[in-house]
Amino acid sequence: MAAIDETSAAERPTAQTYRNVAALFSAQALLSGQIVINMTFGPLVGLTLASDPSWATAPISVMVLANMICAAPVSALLARVGRRPGFLIGALFGAAGGALGAYAIVIGSFALFLAATACLGVYQAHQNFFRFAATDTSPDSFKPTAVSLVLGGGLVAAFIGPAVGSEFRDALDPYPLAGAYAAIVGINLIGAIPLLALDIPRPPRPKPGQRAGRPLREILRDPVIRVAILCGMVSYGLMSLVMTAASIAVVGCGHGEAAASAVIGAHVFAMFAPSFFTGMLIKRFGHNVIIAIGLALLAGCGLVAISGVELEKFFIALVLLGVGWNFGFIGATSLLTTAHAPEERGRIQGFNDLCVFGLVAMASLSSGKLMHGLGWEAVNYAMVPFLCVAAAALIWLTLTNPRAARHGATR
């Protein structure tokens, strides 16, 4: 009986766990606002500063590419200096991006504005590891909940970002939108405060001659790792592919900009609102089941989207897309954390995000080409091969590795 009680106690979250999750949720809620501001106003600034209007979306592409390129180096940095100092460095990059962005608008420099959005991409690469940091001091049974709660902070940011951007966009009049980027400096200064409460020890450094976990090549031989990375890539990449084209499609079908904004708003809500119970669902049914439901919802998005261009179908498709991303990405992230040791996280988590956001960058860059060249239906048909590959891999893992299939489910 004592042994059972000990095991049960070891699986219960501690005060340290709750404190870290609360700090990361708060930081995610506040700091993510700067990404929303750039996603909203970056193309408008690009349209004003770029000599060629076709470069208007370059600020978003540069942010995404910087995020992808920095994934592995940031993971290594966090493993070396620790989560709290590393995340504070990320906030400094965010503040620098906001200040540079405002200055670039004032002097009318498109090149400097792209450098500013690159800094925001470097910040985002740090923020992406908030979800992993939430699991560092969590028992296995609480890890899915920790990941989903931290990502749930994005729901708050979806309201904070537009509100701050709208409030300060004309603060540096007569330079339109410069004030919104100046406000990003304040967002980082305030958003960094919760990070000071983090209490996450660094993994112990190996003694001389001792190996610090498996090399990356050996880690990637684990089928659980491979499938988790693949499903995370597909879930996030397909969400980016469809979302990037959605507002263009809504307006192009005659529904107007207000309708497009409402559709994207419903999508963002659907992305983050389930986060407050996704972790509990993973604990109850297991990672593979929730990831499978996520992939099915992404497929459902495509089916609804190609069935017609009525406004209600855009709403339904984009809501399915948001919930599908939530289940697929949170499930894959949580599954990944079950298959590596603490001393290996600097290697595998960075590689995971390099792969995930590499596909996101490709998807966002390809989306416009598909939309303008072949239309809205082609964007949704493009999901099919990726969903088939991810589904096949998940089925293979379930059949060949029953323990992984049950992992996370309540016994």
Residue 411's pLDDT is 40
Cα–Cα distance between 341 and 355 in angstroms, integer? 20
Q: What pTM does this model have?
A: 0.78
Greater pLDDT, 411 or 226: 226
Q: Which fold has domain 218-411?
A: Growth Hormone; Chain: A; (1.20.1250)
Is the separation of the CB atoms in 236 and 360 below 8 Å?
Answer: yes
Cα–Cα distance between 144 and 134 in angstroms, integer? 9
The answer to which of 11-15, 18-22, 201-205, 320-324 has the lowest mean pLDDT is: 201-205
DSSP 218-274: HHTT-HHHHHHHHHHHHHHHHHHHHHHHHHHHHHHTT--HHHHHHHHHHHHHHHHTT
The SS3 call for residue 127 is: helix
Position 402 confidence tier, pLDDT thresholds 50, 70, 90 = low
Greater pLDDT, 259 or 298: 298
Per-residue pLDDT tens for 268-288? 888 888 888 887 888 888 888
- Res. 34: pLDDT tops 80: yes
Cα–Cα distance between 257 and 30 in angstroms, integer? 27
Residue 5's pLDDT is 46
- State the average pLDDT over residues 351-371: 79
Does 218-411 match 14-199 at the fold level? yes
Structure tokens at 336: 């990944």
Position 257 confidence tier, pLDDT thresholds 50, 70, 90 = low
What integer best gives the mean pLDDT of the chain? 83
Position 205 confidence tier, pLDDT thresholds 50, 70, 90 = low
The answer to which of 23-27, 256-260, 378-382 has the lowest mean pLDDT is: 256-260
- Res. 139: pLDDT tops 70: yes
Per-residue pLDDT tens for 100-124? 999 999 999 999 999 999 999 999 9
Residue 263's pLDDT is 77
Is the separation of the CB atoms in 76 and 350 below 8 Å?
Answer: yes
Per-residue pLDDT tens for 56-106? 777 888 888 898 888 888 988 888 888 899 999 999 999 999 999 999 999
DSSP 267-336: HHHHHHTTHHHHHHHHHHH-HHHHHHHHHHHHHHHHHHHTT---HHHHHHHHHHHHHHHHHHHHHHHHHH
Cα–Cα distance between 315 and 292 in angstroms, integer? 22
Residue 328's pLDDT is 92
CB within 8 Å of 310: residues ≥ 6 apart: none
- Res. 408: pLDDT tops 70: no
- Res. 186: pLDDT tops 80: yes
**pLDDT above 90 as % of the chain:** 28
For the chain, give every domain's residue range. Answer: 14-199, 218-411
Looking at domain 14-199, its CATH class is mainly alpha
